[in-house]
Every structure is written in structure tokens, then in C-alpha cells.
């Protein structure tokens, strides 16, 4: 199991670490990251989350993966 941190940013701003979790593998990290993004999208926040990215890092600060919010939001109509 790996301990990971989630951090969100866009081109101008960065939120502090949102939370730390334990993950079994990369698929588990991505699934939990997607849940964090969905939670943020459902809460009050910036006027447009589309440019934001969730960064997943290990306990040494090495980035493991990134998840653009737009990949969860889908395409604009």
C-alpha cells in the first residue's frame, strides 16, 4: 500500500494538499482521485473548474499521476 497526497491547481492558483490516503495500486489511486474531483465539482468553488488538475504525489513528493478535472466533466456542448 502506498500513501499518496492530492493537490489541485490551475495555471494561476494551487490549493493546499486536500488529503492523504492509502492506495493499493495505480488503478486505486486514479479511482480515489476521480472521487476527489467529483466531490470538488459538486461543491462551491472557482467559477470554472475546467482548467484545474488534480496532482497525485507519493509521500516523498514525487508526482505519480495527474487527473484533469475536464476528463471527469466531459466535453463542452
CB atoms within 10 A of CB 7: 17
pLDDT of residue 33: 92
Q: How far apart are CA 56 and CA 1, in angstroms?
A: 15
According to the model, what pLDDT value does residue 16 have? 72
- Distance between CA 32 and CA 5 in Å, rounded? 11
- Mean per-residue pLDDT pooled into runs of 10, the chain (77 residues): 88 78 88 91 80 90 92 76
Question: What confidence score (pLDDT) does residue 46 get?
Answer: 67
Q: What per-residue confidence (pLDDT) applies to 74?
A: 75
Our CA angle for 14, 19, 22, nearest 5°, is 135
pLDDT at site 77: 56
Q: Which residues pair with 20 in a beta bridge?
A: 5
Q: Going by C-beta distance under 8 Å and a sequence separation of 6 or more, which residues neighbour residue 38?
A: 72
The answer to pTM > 0.85 is no
Amino acid at each position: 500500500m502506498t500513501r499518496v497526497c492530492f493537490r489541485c491547481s490551475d495555471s494561476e492558483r494551487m490549493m493546499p494538499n486536500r488529503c492523504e490516503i492509502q492506495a493499493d495500486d495505480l488503478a486505486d489511486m486514479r479511482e480515489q482521485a476521480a472521487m476527489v474531483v467529483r466531490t470538488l465539482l459538486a461543491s462551491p468553488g472557482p467559477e470554472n473548474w475546467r482548467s484545474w488538475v488534480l496532482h497525485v504525489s507519493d509521500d516523498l513528493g514525487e508526482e505519480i499521476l495527474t487527473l484533469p478535472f475536464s476528463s471527469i466533466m466531459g466535453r463542452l456542448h
